């Protein structure tokens, strides 16, 4: 191990605290975390000079590849002007341009306002607060509840966490958050009294943290109808599904659904800088006009950060210049073929689930039962995959494969070959 690598690992173990991480294990003497230093396209390098395919798009964020020249140039250009100015009391050119661009993805008179924040969780927080304040200011103070879906994930700040349907993440904080009911299916939702519901929140087309589980086709459009018939707002959390992952720019476009609130983050800047946006309708916005106390009292210091806006605008330009969406069908087909070959080769693959360029590969014992959780099978396979040049993370025993959209069909094949080798080596 190089001296630098050793020094960085020691410093990390002495002072860093990682997300969702058992720090005791992380800091154990025999653990050698990878120190990732740079990347290009869908490839990353560690401090020992080893090259890896970024198989989960750096935790679901990266779109056009690492160190993309167009995005980097846009960030540099803005950096020479200013890295940050206040969006409270001022505006700046790129925020105005980005807001126009984002609204432009939707028909006129639909999503027309953009509220910027920093992360997926804050995009969701912002939608929740807007949805509640809207009810207070439009004569419906009794609509105070949210409904979310079982096993859903919407972020980790307290408000977003109260929507979360995954017990191991959220149960301990449940009593501190918003009033939120959970349903498994649309049928269960239909059984509820809609009068007290402010909004329903869903990850459209596919639940991410729930081991990549797609919804039945048509479900989103039905949910939209249910909400419309009862005056309930629909909040779509497209933090994972946004920006081409499912094959269209936004997942909701697949079912011609337009939400009342759309939450965007991860891929917004192409995966370069933390930035989020909550889009909403003019009908919602109007309720915040008039008396001063009707204003939306919410914001963050780095709201509409100019570097983030520059990156987001550049990422959207790259979608056009590289015809990113037009190239997706071939990649999605190649992924589908690769996944089915992988499944055919391995009895331990119980199911492969795919939505666009998002895939979950669920491992089970050959008799169909789950592996004992303490065996941490998914984790072991992902660690084995590193030796074959593939980086990704599992969710329980489901291996996530979600390449940057720029990956070529052949790169997708070779990443799946690495996974094949890892499963053969580790489990068979
Ligand atoms: C990642 C994610 C979030 C949270 O986003 P952060 O940027 O991590 O706060 C919310 N919703 C979904 C669907 C996500 O995948």
List pLDDT tens digits, range 109-140: 999 999 999 999 999 999 999 999 999 999 99
Atom of ligand 1 nearest to the CA of 274: 7
Task: Using the CB atoms, write b or e for 295-315: b if 16+ within 10 Å.
Answer: ebeebbebbbbbbbbbbbbbb
Contact predicate 60/72, CB 8 Å: no
Q: Is residue 349 part of a domain?
A: yes
Same domain, 190 and 329: no
Q: Is residue 167 predicted with pLDDT exceeding 90? A: no
Same domain, 38 and 92: no
Atom of ligand 1 nearest to the CA of 241: 13
CB distance 263 to ligand 1 below 6 Å: no
pLDDT band at 172 (very low <50, low <70, confident <90, very high): confident
Q: Where in the sequence is the domain holding 272, given as residue range(s)?
A: 72-321
Q: Is residue 406 part of a domain?
A: yes
Same domain, 299 and 336: no
Domain termination residue (choose one: 321, 345, 369): 321
Q: Alpha carbon 158 to chain centroid distance?
A: 18
Q: Is residue 27 part of a domain?
A: no
Same domain, 178 and 264: yes
Same domain, 298 and 391: no
pLDDT of residue 243: 98
Same domain, 105 and 47: no
Same domain, 100 and 201: yes
Contact predicate 290/138, CB 8 Å: no
CB distance 208 to ligand 1 below 6 Å: yes
Least confident of 103-112, 156-165, 280-289, 338-347: 156-165
CB distance 265 to ligand 1 below 6 Å: yes
Instruction: Give the strand pairing for 145-149 and 206-207.
Output: unpaired
Average pLDDT of the residues in 343-365: 97
Q: Is residue 20 part of a domain?
A: no
Least confident of 10-24, 153-167, 311-325: 153-167
Domain termination residue (choose one: 255, 287, 321): 321
Mutual angle of helices 409-427 and 377-386, in 10-degree steps: 120
Question: Per-residue pLDDT tens for 227-247?
Answer: 999 999 999 999 999 999 999
Cα separation, 115 vs 130, in Å, equals: 10
At 289, which CATH number?
3.40.640.10
Q: Is residue 131 part of a domain?
A: yes
Atom of ligand 1 nearest to the CA of 156: 9
Question: Per-residue pLDDT tens for 297-351?
Answer: 999 999 999 999 999 999 999 999 999 999 999 999 999 999 999 999 999 999 9
Burial class (CB in 10 A: 0-12, 13-18, 19+), 374: exposed
Same domain, 328 and 314: no
Q: Is residue 295 part of a domain?
A: yes
Q: Which residues contact 219 (CB under 8 A, 6 or more apart)?
A: 186
pLDDT of residue 354: 98
Same domain, 354 and 248: no
Shortest CA distance to 397 belongs to which of 358, 349, 359?
Answer: 349
Atom of ligand 1 nearest to the CA of 59: 1
Contact predicate 353/362, CB 8 Å: yes
pLDDT of residue 160: 94
CB distance 64 to ligand 1 below 6 Å: no
Atom of ligand 1 nearest to the CA of 152: 13
CA of 60 to the centre of ligand 1 (A): 9
Q: Is residue 403 part of a domain?
A: yes
Q: How many domains does the chain have?
A: 2
Q: Is residue 6 part of a domain?
A: no
Q: Which residues contact 332 (CB under 8 A, 6 or more apart)?
A: 247, 354, 356, 357
At 384, which CATH number?
3.90.1150.10
Contact predicate 45/383, CB 8 Å: no
Same domain, 311 and 180: yes
Computed over every residue of the chain, the mean pLDDT equals 97
Task: Using the CB atoms, write b or e for 61-99: b if 16+ within 10 Å.
Answer: bbbbbbebebbeebbeebeeeeeeeebeeeebebbeebb
Contact predicate 116/87, CB 8 Å: yes
Cα separation, 327 vs 406, in Å, equals: 9
Q: Which residues contact 403 (CB under 8 A, 6 or more apart)?
A: 42, 53, 54, 55, 57, 357, 411, 412, 415
Atom of ligand 1 nearest to the CA of 276: 7
Same domain, 390 and 408: yes
Same domain, 189 and 120: yes
CA of 249 to the centre of ligand 1 (A): 17
Question: Per-residue pLDDT tens for 19-41?
Answer: 999 999 999 999 999 999 999 99
Average pLDDT of the residues in 65-83: 98
Ligand 1 pocket: which of 151, 155, 170 to mutate (most atoms within 8 A of CB): 155
CB distance 267 to ligand 1 below 6 Å: no
Half-sphere exposure of 97 (CA within 13 A, CB side): 14
pLDDT of residue 112: 98
pTM of the model: 0.97
CB distance 159 to ligand 1 below 6 Å: no
Proportion of the chain above pLDDT 90, given as a percent = 95
Domain termination residue (choose one: 296, 321, 346): 321
């Amino acid at each position: 191990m190089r001296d630098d690598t050793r020094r960085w690992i020691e410093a990390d173990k002495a002072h860093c605290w990682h997300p969702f991480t058992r720090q005791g294990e992380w800091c154990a003497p025999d653990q050698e975390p990878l120190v990732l230093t740079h990347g290009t396209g869908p490839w990353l390098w560690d401090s020992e000079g080893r090259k890896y395919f970024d198989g989960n798009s750096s935790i679901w964020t990266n779109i056009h590849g690492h160190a993309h020249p167009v995005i980097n140039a846009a960030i540099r250009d803005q950096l020479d002007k200013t890295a940050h100015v206040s969006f409270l009391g001022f505006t700046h050119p790129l925020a105005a341009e980005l807001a126009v661009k984002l609204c432009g993805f939707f028909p006129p008179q639909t999503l027309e306002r953009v509220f910027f924040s920093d992360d997926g969780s804050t995009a969701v927080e912002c939608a929740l607060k807007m949805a509640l304040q809207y009810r207070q200011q439009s004569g419906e103070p009794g609509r105070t509840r949210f409904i979310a879906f079982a096993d859903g994930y919407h972020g980790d700040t307290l408000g977003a966490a109260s929507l979360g349907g995954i017990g191991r993440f959220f149960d301990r904080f449940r009593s501190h958050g918003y009033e939120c009911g959970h349903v498994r299916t649309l049928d269960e939702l239909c059984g509820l009294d809609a009068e007290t519901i402010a909004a329903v929140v869903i990850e459209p087309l596919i639940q991410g943290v729930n081991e990549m589980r797609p919804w039945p086709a048509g479900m989103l459009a039905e949910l939209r109808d249910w909400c419309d018939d009862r005056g309930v707002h629909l909040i779509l959390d497209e933090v994972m599904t946004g920006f081409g992952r499912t094959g269209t720019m936004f997942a909701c476009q697949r079912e011609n659904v337009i939400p009342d609130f759309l939450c965007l983050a991860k891929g917004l800047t192409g995966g370069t800088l933390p930035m989020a946006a909550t889009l909403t309708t003019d009908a919602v916005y109007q309720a915040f006009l008039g008396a001063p106390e009707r204003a939306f009292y919410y914001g963050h210091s780095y709201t509409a950060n100019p570097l983030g806006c520059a990156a987001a605008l550049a990422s959207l330009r790259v979608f056009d210049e590289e015809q990113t969406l037009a190239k997706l069908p071939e990649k999605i087909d190649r992924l589908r073929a690769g996944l089915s070959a992988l499944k055919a080769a391995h009895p331990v693959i119980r199911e492969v689930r795919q939505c666009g360029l998002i895939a979950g590969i669920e491992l089970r014992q050959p008799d169909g039962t789950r592996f004992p959780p303490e065996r941490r099978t998914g984790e072991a396979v992902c660690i084995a995959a590193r030796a074959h040049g593939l980086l990704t993370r599992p969710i329980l025993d489901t291996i996530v494969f979600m390449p940057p959209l720029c990956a070529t069909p052949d790169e997708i094949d070779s990443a799946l070959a690495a996974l094949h080798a890892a499963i053969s080596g580790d489990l068979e």
